[in-house]
Amino acid sequence: MAANSRAPAQAALRTFALILAVASATDCGTDATGVDACRQIEGARCRRAPACGIPLQPPYHTAGSDVDACIRFYDLACLHGLAVSDPGTAAVQACASAIYNNGCGVVRQPESDTACAWLDAGAPSSSSEASAAAADAGSGD
């Protein structure tokens, strides 16, 4: 009798193992680019939003502040990467600096600032433009 009572559990385990094997064999990987850049930009927006009166809910949360929840949300959301190619560290830092220092309009719509123009996937851009924006932002002008 004991062997018969284990049969449904063993069948369920085999089914689960088969599903797991199929799922791991399929293309579940990511070729996301700019994950860290996304996190830096969105983290800057999350931190700056309260001073601009920009509501941070959703995401809804049960622990920590609205800013903490916003950052946690984008830690996961940014795993998809940027919609544009990663512009490099200097351009990302220049954009984050613009979000912190250039007013609430940049927090709402960062691509409106020249330092963050590379975020606009529809706009023509080049690495030289991104480098020039980073140099301008870095010089404090």
Higher pLDDT, 3 or 66: 66
Structure confidence at residue 129 as a pLDDT band (50, 70, 90): very low
Question: What is the per-residue pLDDT across 11-58, written as a single tens digit (0 to 9) for each?
Answer: 444 544 444 444 444 445 567 889 999 999 999 999 999 999 998 877
- How large is the angle between the packed helices 89-101 and 127-139, nearest 10 degrees? 50
pLDDT tens per residue across span 81-104 = 998 999 999 999 999 999 999 999
On whether the pTM is more than 0.85, the answer is: no
* 64 Ramachandran zone, left/alpha/beta (phi>0; psi -120 to 50): left
